[in-house]
Structure 1
Amino acid sequence: MAAQNPIGWFEIYVTDMDRAQKFYETVLGVSLIELPNPEGTTGKMMAFPGDENAPGASGCLVKDEMGAPSAKGTLIYFVCEDCAVELARVEAAGGKVITPKMDIGDFGFCGIVSDTEGNSIGLHSMQ
């Protein structure tokens, strides 16, 4: 079996799905897709676009009682062409820039933001 990245899926918990969906679609310039609920659940899931044959992982926003938004939990980085573009969209979309674009040497650039739900997320690019 070929080596693979260790993350296969992620879930970002939200309290207001419509608000969170608008934030992520605006900042990342993508359209999220509603997923069917797993049997026995009542939450709502909106998936980020993804290709299971491409490197990296996809995931979704989740509104469910099993999780709650948090700024102090796991930090997920979204890949960008130039993270300055997405960082510039954050405040207009209702979020807050925590760390502006910073140089991380050979690993490119990143910034950290707070989404509309109170989650911290990272934006990463090589330029």
Structure 2
Amino acid sequence: MKPNPVVWFEIHVQDMARARKFYEAVFQCQLETLKSPAGEASGMQMLSFPGDMTTMGASGTLVKMEGVPSGGGGTLVYFACEDCAVEQGRAEKAGGKVFKPKFSIGEYGHCALVTDTEGNMIGLHSMQ
């Protein structure tokens, strides 16, 4: 396996407008419409997080797809933050819930776990 093996992520949602509002508020970014690789007739909706293929890390999308539920499923995506307590606070204000507030992971920095408006848990990571 190559280093940094994750190259893409998808966070499944039930209400795209609500999910967009949550993620744009928490991460202070603008999500962009991404055409479905399955074509318009598939009914699949995608909003892409900002990405830069020339730097380290993975990009991904919010996805609304018939028959695919949102919510906990055993996979957790961590978003890089300057100070994860900031995004943790934004998550609460944007309608999410804090599952585990900012905590130390020793020499590897700090994390927080929050649940979005669709029931998905995401991780927040920062060195401070």
TM superposition score normalised by structure 2: 0.93
CA RMSD of aligned residues (A): 1.1
**CA offsets, 1:1-45, max 9 Å, x none?**
xx5410010000000000000000000111100001223422100
Distance of 2:80 and 2:74 partners within structure 1 = 19
User: How far has the Cα of 1:71 moved from its partner?
Assistant: 1.8
User: How far has the Cα of 1:66 moved from its partner?
Assistant: 4.8
Partner of 1:124: 125
Matched, 1:115 2:112: no
SS state at 1:101 partner: strand
Bigger drift between 36-45 and 101-110 goes to 36-45
Identity of aligned residues (%): 57
Partner of 1:65: 66
Opposite residue 56 of structure 1, the aligned amino acid is G
Partner of 1:32: 31
Opposite residue 81 of structure 2, the aligned amino acid is C
SS state at 1:75 partner: coil
Contact 1:104 1:110 in 2 (8 A): yes
User: How far has the Cα of 1:126 moved from its partner?
Assistant: 0.4
Q: How many residues align structurally?
A: 125
Structure 2 unpaired stretches of 5+: none
Distance of 1:84 and 1:47 partners within structure 2 = 24
Aligned ranges 1:65-104 → 2 under 5 Å: 65-104=66-105
User: How far has the Cα of 1:72 moved from its partner?
Assistant: 3.5
Structure 1 unpaired stretches of 5+: none
Distance of 1:90 and 1:82 partners within structure 2 = 13
